[in-house]
Structure 1
Amino acid sequence: MPSKAIALHPHQSLEELEQRYRSCKDAKEKIRWQVIWLYAQQTREHRPSTLAVSQATGFSQNWVYKLIRRYNAEGPQGLIDKHRYNPGGDKRALLNPEEQQALGQALQQRPPDGGVWTARKVAHWVQAHTGKGMAEVTAWTYLRRLGFSLQRPRPRHTRAANTQAQEAFKKS
C-alpha cells in the first residue's frame, strides 16, 4: 500500500508539538501528539509518510491519516481524548425520592396479581402510580437499588413425591 501524504496545517511549531507530546499526562492523548510530531518532523525533512509514522507508533496507516486530518480540521483540540470528558447520558433519576419511597413501600407488600415482584411488575406499578413509562431494565435497577432481588420459588422436580408420599416416607 503506498504511503498517503497529506499537508499538515501549521497550528503549532515543531518545538511546540514536541513539548505537547513530551509533557502530556494522558496516554491516549500523548500518542496522538507523538503521531503529529513525527509527521511534522518528516514534513520538515522530506516528503511525509503516514506509513513511517504508523510503523513507529504501531497505529494503522489509516488511523494516522485520520488523526492528521482531525488535527488539520480542529487544531490541538482535535487530539484531546473526548471519551474522558464525556459525562455520558442524562444521569437524572426517573423517580424522585418520594416516588422511590412509595415504590419501596409497595415492594414490602405482595404485588397486585400475587406472586413475586418482577421487573415487569415494577414497571407496571410505576406506570400506574406515577404515569411515567419505565423500561424493565430500569425497573430492575430500582428493585436492586431498593435492596430487593428477583425472588422466584424454587422449581419442583417433575418426578418429586407429593405431600402424602413425603409424609409416608417420614413415618417409616
Structure 2
Amino acid sequence: MNSKSWAIAMPRLLKLEPHKSIEELEKLYRQTQDPIERTRWQILWLIAKGHKVEEVAEVTGYRRGSIYRIVGRYNRLGIDGLKDRRHQHQGPETLLSEIDQAFLWQALQEPPVDGGLSFSLWV
C-alpha cells in the first residue's frame, strides 16, 4: 500500500500569542455582550486552555477553518482581530445615482409601456 494513499488526521493544538492571559480570556468571554464576539473569546479561551481544534468546534458549533481564522486574526491583530465588523459595514454603494433612482421610482409608478403581461398568465 502506498503511504500517500491514506492519512490519519491528528487533532491539532493551536498556539496563541500571549496578548491576554487565560483568566483574561475567560473574563472577556463571560462579559462580552455581542454574541459573535463572545463566541470568538470562548474559542480563544478554550484554545488557551489546551483544547484541540476539534473539541472547540464541537463545543462552539464553529467549523475548524473558522477557528483557525479567528486564532490567526487574534495572533496577528490582538483584540482588534476579534471585533465583529459586520456592525460597521454600511453595505455596498448604490449602483444608481439619486437622480436615476428617482427616475426609476417614477417609472415603476406608471403602467408598463408595453402593456405588461396578461393577467391570465399569472393565474
Structure 2 counterpart of 1:22: 30
Identify which of 15, 40, 63 aligns with 1:7.
Answer: 15
Change (3 A) 1:156 1:76: closer
**1:66-116 C-alpha deviation (Å, 9 max, x unpaired):** 21111111111111111111223447x834xxxx5xxxxxxxxxxxxxxxx
CA distance in 2, matches of 1:51, 1:17: 20
Contact 2:13 2:53 in 1 (8 A): yes
Larger RCO (CA within 8 A; separation ≥ 6): 2
Q: How does 1:43-54 map to 2 (within 5 A)?
A: 48-54=51-57
Please give the root-mean-square deviation of Cα atoms over the aligned residues, in Å. 2.6
Report the counterpart of residue 67 of structure 1 in structure 2.
70
Tell me which amino acid in the other structure corresponds to 1:151: P
Residue 151 of structure 1 corresponds to 111
Secondary structure in 1 matching 2:87? coil
For 2:23, give the aligned amino acid. E
**Cα shift readout 1:147-170 (whole Å, capped 9, x = no counterpart):** 85242153697xxxxxxxxxxxxx
Structure 1 counterpart of 2:68, one-letter code: Y
3-state SS of paired residue (1:33): helix
The whole-number CA distance in structure 1 between the counterparts of 2:32 and 2:85 is 15
Which residue number corresponds to residue 4 of structure 2?
none
1:77-116, aligned counterparts within 5 Å? 77-90=80-93, 94-95=97-98, 100=99
Change (3 A) 1:78 1:146: same
Identity of aligned residues (%): 28
**Ranges in structure 2 where 5+ consecutive residues have no aligned partner:** 1-8, 119-123
Q: Does 2:36 correspond to 1:33?
A: no
Residue identity matched to 1:40: A
Cα gap change, 1:150 to 1:24, in 2 (>3 Å)? farther
TM-score by length of 2: 0.72
Structure 1: runs of 5+ lacking an equivalent: 43-47, 101-138, 158-172
